[in-house]
Amino acid sequence: MMAFSPLLSFSFVLCSVLFCFTMQGAGARNLVPISSLITEDLFNSIFLHKDDNACPAKDFYTYESFIQATAFFPRFGNAGSLTTRKREIAAFLAQISHETTGGWATAPDGPYAWGLCFKEEVSPQSNYCDSTNKDWPCFPGKSYKGRGPIQLSWNYNYGPAGKALGFDGLKNPEIVANDSLIAFKTSLWFWMTEQKPKPSCHDVMVGKYVPTEADLAANRTAGYGLVTNIINGGLECGISNDGRVNDRIGYFQRYAKVFNVDTGPNLDCENQKPFS
């Protein structure tokens, strides 16, 4: 979580979720409120079916929780031009839509109107415990399956996410599927946080990604496809015409139109090697 000075923390508490500011160096920089770029009506039109009875996450993912969560990550949707800001928001919403989709090819309003339908992974194949990770040891009996908008998975993600956001991710991973605000915070934490050798999704979408020699050799070029590589490249990238990648792209193309921006280049990751 980002650190604030006492004075700034006081101001942050006083400001509404509609407008916040942060300090960089000696000067203050005004930030565009996310709510000015995505209103509640727009949010609900994007996620047309999230509160349908058919969706297990019915009434869980609220607009209020989303806006409140973005206030903890003031750089989200606030870097670069207005087009860049909108494109980043569209990309984020597209990725979480795929991760939580309840859509299918002939679904009402199309397959890309069913984001945020699930809040936790159904029938996980394991408890997602990497026992070799000694920094974030698994707690006995706990499952680190996918939960929340980004489907946070594995103990090595739950641990640092909890530390950054103020909850015990190893002992209480279930909170990500039980608290809407924490759920959105974890998805934004993952989006905004660099985890070397992976860059942050945020840096990729706002043009701050600088490829390493290894990235260049692996053809990891900037664009939406690289974000997919960061999120789930080990399973989806380096594969020709992968259906999961195509679904992510379909959501992004729909949302880019909603925000009236172009998607930018390199939408897929079929020619990229996954991060090791």
88 is catalytic: no
CA distance readout (Å), 228 to 33, 34, 36, 71, 113 = 26, 23, 27, 24, 20
Say which of 88, 99, 120, 236 is annotated catalytic: 99
The amino acid present at 59, given as its one-letter code, is D
Q: Cα–Cα distances in Å, from 264 out to 28, 123, 183, 230, 248?
A: 31, 35, 28, 17, 14
Q: Which of 181, 195, 265 is nearest to 223 (CA)?
A: 265
- Which phi and psi (to 5°) does residue 201 adopt? -60, -40
**Collapsed DSSP state (helix, strand, coil) of residue 84:** helix
List residues with catalytic annotation: 99
